[in-house]
Amino acid sequence: MNDKRRRIDIVLEDEYAGNLSGLELKELRQRRHTAEDVESQISYYRRLLHGRMDLLNFELRRRGGEEERTLLEALPEILASGMVFGEEPNLKRIEIMPPIPSKTGRRLIDKIMDDGVLTQLPDLSDDEIREALDRLHEVETEMSNQRKQLHSAIDTLQNEIVDRYRSEQGEATVPG
């Protein structure tokens, strides 16, 4: 696909995982691989958003007297929350990891998503933090919806591949 659109836009189009019967197995595998890679990117960005939201929520609780620790004292716990440890990594290896957009067109979100968020946090009012949380939640909701659509496309592609392996036509062979 020599297309200048974003990969996620291509993968989320109906025809990407639709009418698969005419595609060769190699193309099906490539589409599945691309969809999985895009899903991993979205998962990574969602985790970054969650980390920022966790920091902002902690700061609001601290300012409201619900927390006695400083943000820096609580930082290891905040950053570790939501992480699942075990034998498998939380995110698959991602082949293409574009940088987070440097400008979202919203000054407040740009400020929150900047890597220097900890140094900027004291300068934000409670209302600014709440507004940023609302906007970040909107972005996270959109990403969650995209992940659901990506999972559906991945499942459809995977099912087609499995069906071909099972078919009596011998169309597919397990790669060696």
Angstrom distances, CA of residue 5 to CA of 10, 13, 38, 68, 73? 7, 11, 13, 48, 43
Neighbouring C-beta atoms of residue 52, cutoff 10 Å: 19
CA distance 8 to 124: 33
Tens-level pLDDT at each residue, the chain (176 residues): 455 788 889 999 999 999 898 999 999 999 999 999 999 988 888 888 888 899 899 999 999 999 999 988 998 888 887 654 444 444 454 455 444 444 455 555 565 666 666 778 888 899 989 988 888 888 888 889 999 999 999 999 999 999 988 885 555 555 54
